[in-house]
Structure 1
Amino acid sequence: MTDTARAARPSGFLAGFAVFAECLLTGVWIAVAALPLVTLPAALAAGAAHLRRVLAHEGGGVREFVADLRTAAARHGWLVGAAGWAAVALVWADLAVVRAGGLPGGAFAGAVGVLALLGLVVAGVRAAAVWRPGASWRVLMGAAVRRTVRDPAGSLVLVCGLAVIAASAWLSPPLAAPAAGVLMGAALAVERRRA
């Protein structure tokens, strides 16, 4: 190995670690911005926009994040968040009926409901990853649902990212916040791989 190759290796590691650290910080910003719950899609979109700027070496900081958050929420991002929480409530009610045991084929209906909800969450993450100011959430969600179905490998990566968030929250709830940024980093990688 030449001296030049040895010198290039640490900078590559340091650059990768810097991106990882930025993902963790972005996750904390996403968690704080998503506290009203209905702003979760807008927070994810703002986080993805921030990470795109960092990866393109265009700077970016909390001011740009907040500006993107406002733009994404104002363009019906809050409505997407409210619809997402309504879907969660619907699946929760479905599972309550299944647990009560009075529904024939209830276990199958419950499993289908949970899988459909998981697919919608993955589609929501994918839509947030490609969001740009001025984009329509309806168009983004429609395209994201199609990509979720047509790219099962990428969707599985995002499901694993959601599992990391769940495991982090189970071990120590504050760890779920930085893990959200890692999920958005993974979503950006999945979308870039598709392109």
Structure 2
Amino acid sequence: MTGTRADRRAERAAVRADRSGSGPVLEERPAARFPGAAAKFALFGEVLMIGLLVLLVGVVIVTLPVALAAGIRHLGRYIAAEDSRLALFWRDVRAGLAGGSLIGLIAVVIAAVLAVDIILARSGMLPGGVVIEAVGWTGLAALAVGLLIASGAWDPHSGWRTAVRQVPAIVRDDVRGLVFYIAAVALVVILTWMLPPLLPAALGCAVLAVVAVPQRRHGR
């Protein structure tokens, strides 16, 4: 009886390992393209955790680019079932901190200028206020999307300058993918506006979107 129960437990464990991609497969079949994403609930937990980490590292705003970049790289490794220890996340944070903080500072300055233009346009102090306000909101959206794409393109070896330079080419090569990036930014804004405690989950979903968009393009 004891042996039978042990065999059943071992069989159930083998089935779980097979389904999640964390262990040997029970039968021959093509390798999963994203073995780390096989366990949906575990992936959901990882997305929430990385959203919290991105919020923690990016809480001073200027460090948001490096937080996003480290989170994107971590989630990419996790989905590919590669080494996804948190130590590697913090290693990426350290590697990208100097350049990422500079990019973040530049983004903050640009966002502040655009925000002032929007406020002045709404006050009626500027002629053509409606147009200026529309340009301001468009600029903020473009800044956020560009920051997200650059964070996804960042690599510790090539650095932030190369990542920023790659943004126009990434958009040009996959215009349809741009819609997903815009949707990711909109998701963060809308969820945070509706319920601020959802910000970590929204950031995690945005990170997941940046990981998924290039894979969709490569899989066509």
- Which bin holds the TM-score, normalised by the shorter protein? 0.7 to 0.9
1:172 aligned to 172, 192, 195, which one? Answer: 195
2:106 aligned to 56, 62, 83, which one? Answer: 83
Stretch moving more, 181-190 or 97-106: 97-106
Native 8 Å contact 1:39 1:81 kept in 2: yes
Gaps of 5+ in 1: 1-6
Query: Aligned runs of 1:5-154 on 2, under 5 Å?
Result: 11=19, 15-74=39-98, 76-148=99-171, 151-154=174-177
Given residue 54 of structure 1, which amino acid in structure 2 is its aligned partner?
A: Y
Matched residue pairs, number? 187
Q: Distance in 2 between matches of 1:92 and 1:84?
A: 12
Q: Distance in 2 between matches of 1:138 and 1:162?
A: 22
Q: Distance in 1 between matches of 2:165 and 2:136?
A: 19
Normalising by structure 2, we get a TM-score of 0.77
2:183 aligned to 147, 160, 163, which one? Answer: 160
* 1:153 Cα offset (Å): 2.4
Q: Pick 1 or 2: higher relative contact order, CA cutoff 8 A, min separation 6.
A: 1
How large is the Cα RMSD of the aligned pairs? 2.2
* 1:142 Cα offset (Å): 2.1
Given residue 184 of structure 2, which amino acid in structure 1 is its aligned partner?
A: G
SS in 2 for 1:37: coil
Given residue 192 of structure 1, which amino acid in structure 2 is its aligned partner?
A: Q
Normalising by structure 1, we get a TM-score of 0.86
Q: Distance in 2 between matches of 1:111 and 1:39?
A: 28
Given residue 71 of structure 1, which amino acid in structure 2 is its aligned partner?
A: A
Give the number of the structure whose residues are more often helix, by fraction. 1
Q: Distance in 2 between matches of 1:130 and 1:150?
A: 14
Native 8 Å contact 1:20 1:182 kept in 2: no
Match in the other structure for 1:188: 211
Native 8 Å contact 1:123 1:148 kept in 2: no
Q: Distance in 2 between matches of 1:25 and 1:145?
A: 30
* 1:93 Cα offset (Å): 0.6
SS in 2 for 1:35: coil
Larger Rg: 2
SS in 1 for 2:39: helix
SS in 2 for 1:36: coil
* 1:14 Cα offset (Å): 5.4
* 1:50 Cα offset (Å): 0.4
Q: Distance in 2 between matches of 1:89 and 1:32?
A: 22
Native 8 Å contact 1:31 1:177 kept in 2: yes
